[in-house]
Structure 1
């Protein structure tokens, strides 16, 4: 049994990861901005799988709160084996000259700075144990920039670079780092990007069988349960009908 810390666990990849790790007998620290959803997930997973869940409601963009909340948890909960840096989002889809500055701020603060804030709080725990695994949720967009994706793509390119940097810096401590890069996956992602416009969100996946949150969670779980001497540094996953950020076969 291990302790798994998952950010952004109230929906999408994060929630699916929580369910996958709980199914396999792991205790969880789950974080997110929506307290009610965290509490509901805690109740469900504890009842269904007999594991322990510690729900922590905070916004990863708030450095002081991240440091205070994570620093203040009981010592026995700090024996984290896997950190899944999942919290992230896309906001808007605009050409660079028309970009919304608030959207830019939100993406950079969440996808880059939030990942750093949480990692900075947790990495000392892993170093103390001389083992652990950090799994960062990147994106195919981090290496393949698409039209109007500008700042979102840049934020995920930063995740890719940070993952490589973490891997190098943490090498002496036996800590694994993996950058998981999904392609088209149908979660709340597009609904958030388009500010709740369901028609636009559905249009992204028209003619496709996209990845599900569970598909990505399965891959993350696989990466996290390999033998101690095996580390997947970077993994790109797409649906069959998507060959890259640009090439789809819609039917």
Structure 2
């Protein structure tokens, strides 16, 4: 009979620890939960967000975990424009000699095409889609030097469900889905993995309902928690080199899709 330790090592020989990781949109929601989990596992994590207070709160929460293995640092940037992407990766190159993992997560909620002005819709598309593309380009250049890397794009089941009244947001998440599948073919021979994770309804600040109502929906299994998605991302990253997880969809058991 094989020991549990041996079985674990066989199943997860590349346990995600000691890696240099960038999480965009890492100051709130899914990105925040993922960054805290990965840092507590002994990884060196950089996060970015648009608001200084949310960044400082996330860094403080990591310190409260009393983890002496990993690190968590960050910068405030706006990935809805080129300057933000340039500033972010200048910071990454200053802090890291190389980059092992990029988690593209920074995104904004938006409703239907009849709502908002052209500049507002443009900003959402740039953040939710072009931001993923631009950050992936920069990350790939860093990963090619090491001959390996992993990009995880956080999408949404909205890409397939295509719910009414959310056409602008749906368009960006459908774009992320298509981008992920095509990019995988571009960089596979460079040793870089591309994975897509698409959660259903998840309790985060993007939801237009109060936190207490989100907690009720989570208890009723009609909504995921950000930590649920974070644990799935860790599962993706912990697979052996021979294994390539293309995509994962997560839904609350009682969400009607």
Report the TM-score when normalising by structure 1. Answer: 0.85
Pairs within 5 Å for 1:1-251: 1-46=18-63, 48-50=66-68, 51-74=70-93, 77-91=96-110, 93-94=111-112, 96=113, 98-101=114-117, 102-191=119-208, 198=210, 205=217, 208-242=221-255, 244=257
Distance in 2, matches of 1:5 and 1:161, equals: 22
Asked if the contact 2:46–2:92 (Cα under 8 Å) also holds between the matched residues in 1, the reply is: no
Asked if the contact 2:152–2:197 (Cα under 8 Å) also holds between the matched residues in 1, the reply is: yes
Distance in 2, matches of 1:126 and 1:109, equals: 24
Q: 1:64 to 1:78 in 2, by over 3 A?
A: farther
Q: Alpha-carbon deviation of 1:188? A: 0.8
Distance in 1, matches of 2:126 and 2:139, equals: 18
Report the TM-score when normalising by structure 2. Answer: 0.84
SS of equivalent residue, structure 2 residue 42 = coil
Q: Alpha-carbon deviation of 1:205? A: 4.6
Once superposed, what is the RMSD of the aligned Cα atoms?
2.3
Q: Alpha-carbon deviation of 1:69? A: 3.5
Q: Alpha-carbon deviation of 1:72? A: 4.7
Q: 1:65 to 1:149 in 2, by over 3 A?
A: closer
Q: Alpha-carbon deviation of 1:39? A: 2.6
Q: Alpha-carbon deviation of 1:40? A: 3.1
SS of equivalent residue, structure 1 residue 177 = strand
Q: Alpha-carbon deviation of 1:75? A: 5.1
Aligned length: 235
| Structure 2: unaligned runs, 5 residues or longer | 1-17
Moved more, 155-164 or 118-127: 118-127
Distance in 2, matches of 1:163 and 1:240, equals: 26
Distance in 1, matches of 2:161 and 2:201, equals: 13
| Structure 1: unaligned runs, 5 residues or longer | 192-196, 245-251
